[in-house]
């Protein structure tokens, strides 16, 4: 059964801090607009201010849906979902109203000092929560967390490096391969044509971040397809049988040689 609260209850605070992924959902006001659901899994990107206010660092992507929906006049609706992947099952939702603070604004800097900024960070999404709900989560499968991917941060850092080089050369032109050019090309409008970024792509502030490109990359286990896994299991079983048959053959042969030698004497 679902249980609802007016704020984040104390007993869930520690559990929230241990989760490796959360989901963000938003939608435009028009009935035929695109409903958006996005996974967020970068470490240390979700933060709690108090029991009714949270925020997360919004990183660069191919779309700008959440920001566009939050900024649509009369909208601002957003839902955050956590669910347990390990341990006891649980689903947790926050319903709230969201506010966007873009990179290049004083409000953004209040939340994220430049020395702590992640590569590709384009905004802070602040959510004022008016309802919290938990449910069983019995239908969510159990998964084992291995590691966070670093491809997004590496890619964004590579784009930002072009902006940093342009700034070092005192160039007034936006670098065509920089992240601001990406924001301009991909993040000014949503799929439905709603306005997205307003400031980040045009700011004079050079994007710097705390990413360590020399840090070791996570090693992922190779996933086998169903057919490959079945073949692998069959091969393993066949190998065991062959070894057993060979061993039996050796024993029988040895016994035969011993017996034959006895009678030949």
Quick check: is 101 in a domain? Answer: yes
> How many CB atoms within 10 Å of residue 85?
16
* Residues 19 and 122 grouped into a single domain: yes
Beta bridge partners of 195: 189
* Residues 27 and 103 grouped into a single domain: yes
Long-range interactions of 196-200: CB distance < 8 A, separation 24+: 196/64, 196/67, 196/68, 196/71, 197/64, 197/67, 197/102, 197/122, 197/123, 198/102, 199/102, 199/103, 199/104, 199/105, 200/102, 200/103, 200/104, 200/122, 200/123
CB 15 within 8 A of CB 83: no
* Residues 47 and 119 grouped into a single domain: yes
* Residues 182 and 241 grouped into a single domain: no
Q: How far is CA 161 from the centre of its chain?
A: 23
pLDDT of residue 219: 83
* Residues 148 and 70 grouped into a single domain: yes
Quick check: is 86 in a domain? Answer: yes
pLDDT of residue 255: 54
pLDDT tens figures, 150-197:
999 999 999 999 999 999 999 989 999 999 999 999 999 999 999 999
3-class DSSP assignment, residue 234: helix
CB 118 within 8 A of CB 59: yes
- pTM reported for the whole predicted model: 0.83
Top-confidence residue, 87 or 246: 87
Q: How far is CA 124 from the centre of its chain?
A: 16
Provide φ and ψ at 247, rounded to 5°.
-60, -45
pLDDT of residue 241: 54
Quick check: is 246 in a domain? Answer: yes
Residue that finishes a domain, picked among 186, 214, 243: 186
pLDDT of residue 221: 72
240 is in which domain, residue-wise?
Answer: 231-260
Burial of residue 32, with CB atoms counted within 10 A of its CB: 0-12 exposed, 13-18 middle, 19 or more buried: exposed
pLDDT grade for 249, boundaries at 50, 70 and 90: low
pLDDT of residue 223: 61
**Separation between Cα atoms, residue 9 and residue 80, nearest integer Å:** 15
**Separation between Cα atoms, residue 51 and residue 176, nearest integer Å:** 43
Residue that finishes a domain, picked among 151, 186, 221: 186
Burial of residue 93, with CB atoms counted within 10 A of its CB: 0-12 exposed, 13-18 middle, 19 or more buried: buried
Stretch 26-46: mean pLDDT: 96
pLDDT tens figures, 61-119:
999 999 999 999 999 999 999 999 999 999 999 999 999 999 999 999 999 999 999 99
Residue that finishes a domain, picked among 186, 201, 218: 186
**168: which 2 tokens?**
């070092």
Residues of the chain with pLDDT > 70, as a percent, come to 83
**Separation between Cα atoms, residue 150 and residue 214, nearest integer Å:** 12
Mean model confidence pLDDT for the chain: 89
pLDDT of residue 220: 73
Quick check: is 30 in a domain? Answer: yes
CATH number, residue 42:
2.30.110.10
* Residues 23 and 76 grouped into a single domain: yes
Instruction: Identify the CA nearest to 78 among candidates 95, 60, 58, 103.
Output: 95
pLDDT of residue 243: 47
Provide φ and ψ at 101, rounded to 5°.
-125, 110
Beta strand segments in the chain, E: 3-5, 22-26, 36-40, 46-50, 53-59, 77-83, 91-102, 121-135
pLDDT grade for 234, boundaries at 50, 70 and 90: very low
Stretch 211-239: mean pLDDT: 66
């Amino acid at each position: 059964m679902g249980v609802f609260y007016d704020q984040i209850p104390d007993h869930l605070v520690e559990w929230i801090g241990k989760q490796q992924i959360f989901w963000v959902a938003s939608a435009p006001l028009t009935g035929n607009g695109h409903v958006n659901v996005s996974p967020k899994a970068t470490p240390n990107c979700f933060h709690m201010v108090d029991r009714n206010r949270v925020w997360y660092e919004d990183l660069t992507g191919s779309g700008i849906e959440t920001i566009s929906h939050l900024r649509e006049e009369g909208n601002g609706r957003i839902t955050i979902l956590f669910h347990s992947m390990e341990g006891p099952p649980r689903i947790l939702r926050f319903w709230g109203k969201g506010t966007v603070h873009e990179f290049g604004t004083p409000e953004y800097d209040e939340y994220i000092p430049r020395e702590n900024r992640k590569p590709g960070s384009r905004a802070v999404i602040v959510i004022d929560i008016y309802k919290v709900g938990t449910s069983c989560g019995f239908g969510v499968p159990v998964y084992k967390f291995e590691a966070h991917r670093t491809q997004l941060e590496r890619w964004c850092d590579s784009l930002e490096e072009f902006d940093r080089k342009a700034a070092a050369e005192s160039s007034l032109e936006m670098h065509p391969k920089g992240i601001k050019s990406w924001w301009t090309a991909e993040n000014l409008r949503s799929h439905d044509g709603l306005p997205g970024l307003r400031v980040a792509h045009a700011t004079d502030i050079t994007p710097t971040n705390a990413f360590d490109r020399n840090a070791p990359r996570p090693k992922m286990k190779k996933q086998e397809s169903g057919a490959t896994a079945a073949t692998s299991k069959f091969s393993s079983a066949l190998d065991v049988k062959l070894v057993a048959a060979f061993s039996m053959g050796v024993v029988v042969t040895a016994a035969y040689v011993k017996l034959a030698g006895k009678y030949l004497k």
